Structure 1
């Protein structure tokens, strides 16, 4: 199974302009994501997809592979779809560009779920909510799954209605593995009503009857960067890791 990781990034973030090039522990955010995807042994190639020449230049500077894409894409998955249409791959992994601490093991777990005789169209990941603060935070996307581990719904709202801890709530992790054909079909669909309301591109699949399998992962799965405060939080976490393990978790060339 030839699996390629594509990292969609844009400079013009509404809440945090220039986010991919913001420095975290001495490296641009996009490099952290790139190195962690690169550290997953199941991934044969890593590509950054962007519409900004500054990001393109930064990726080249640290030795990564980058492709320029259209300025017109509505979502990260649409940007990933453009790259997918031009490369040889069986599976495309969309690794969110604002997840600098994504664990290579999480990427591997999502790809492992694809490695079956009848692979699902889309696989994503989730972990247990840490507590009421995450449950009530609209920046933390919640996912509700059925008894087979298929996604029923994703929301920024507090779902299910009453959080009781444990298995009651799951936090979505920003990663998707697509069968290549399924991704190309997905990006050809119009943006749906729920997708617009929630601001969540994965709801386009749900609205069109495309199943999403959810892999549950335990432990620390990473932290999404939506603001400068999140960046500072990530740096604090890395420094705490250094106190415990002697390793900040800053990826180097070919390791994470």
Structure 2
């Protein structure tokens, strides 16, 4: 089974422009993400797919592999699908460029769901981690996910889900981490579907799969560090750099 990790890297992020080129310790955010992905040793190929010559040069100048997108894209999945279409690959991991603390163990758990008899039916999988800080649970920048008893996603939302109507329950809240694994065809199918109503409302791309009836298998992992969505996130991340 041939496995590739692709890192979509858009320069003009809406909430934090040029966030991937921000310094984080001795490297930029995108360089941390790329180097840490390669260091897992799990992939036959690791490629940054970008719309930016600046990001392209940042990766290739350090000996990394990058590709320039040929056209504009609405989502990271659309961007990497363009690059994947001509690649010989079975499983594709989409690792967001703003996840500089990526490491081997959670990615290994994610890939494991595609193996064995049960794994044959899995088309798309993703990661989540438990959120415990009430401020982060309420923060719309943190996408939450509710799951069924088999670990498949029921819904993704920037709102608090589930809503704690029953105050006697201790409810686990999960943050969706922007790391996906797809079978190649599932990824290509995604790009051929138009943006769906719930996806458009929440601005959460994986809802497109759910709206087309494709289950997402969720894998809970330990703390994954900080995703860099805002300047405050960058400050938090800087405190974790050793």
Partners of 2:206 and 2:23 in 1: CA distance: 29
1:155 partnered with 2:170: no
Q: How does 1:70-109 map to 2 (within 5 A)?
A: 70-109=70-109
1:211 to 211, 215, 226: 215
Tell me how far 1:119 sits from its aligned partner.
4.2
- CA offsets, 1:144-178, max 9 Å, x none? 00011000000000110018786521111110000
Matches within 5 A, 1:15-94: 15-94=15-94
Of 216, 230, 234, which residue of structure 1 is paired with 2:233?
230
1:204-229 Cα offsets, whole Å, 9 max, x none, are 001111110001113x2121101222
Q: What secondary structure sits across from 2:240 in the alignment?
A: helix
**In the aligned structure 1, how far is the partner of 2:160 from the partner of 2:50?**
32
The TM-score with structure 1 as length reference comes to 0.89
The equivalences for 1:123-138 within 5 A come to 123-138=125-140
**Partner secondary structure for residue 73 of structure 1:** coil
Higher mean C-alpha displacement, 143-152 vs 163-172: 163-172
Q: Give the structure 2 partner of residue 254 of structure 1.
A: none
Residues 41 and 108, structure 1, Cα contact 8 Å, conserved in 2: no
Aligned to 2:148: 146
CA distance in 2, matches of 1:215, 1:133: 23
> 1:155-204, CA deviations, whole angstroms, 9 ceiling, x for partnerless residues?
00011001878652111111000000111011111001111110100000
> 2:200 matched to which residue of 1?
196
Structure 2 unaligned segments of length 5 or more: list them: none
Contact 2:42-2:104 at 8 Å conserved across structures: no
**Number of residues paired by the alignment?**
238
Unaligned runs of 5+ in 1: 239-247, 249-256
What's the TM-score, normalizing by structure 2? 0.94
Answer yes or no: is 1:116 the counterpart of 2:119.
Answer: no
Is the CA contact 1:142–1:169 (under 8 Å) kept in the aligned structure 2? yes
Paired position in structure 2 for 1:172:
176
- The Cα RMSD (Å) is 1.5
**CA–CA distance in structure 1, aligned partners of residues 132 and 48 of structure 2:** 31
Alpha-carbon separation, structure 2, partners of 1:166 and 1:93: 33
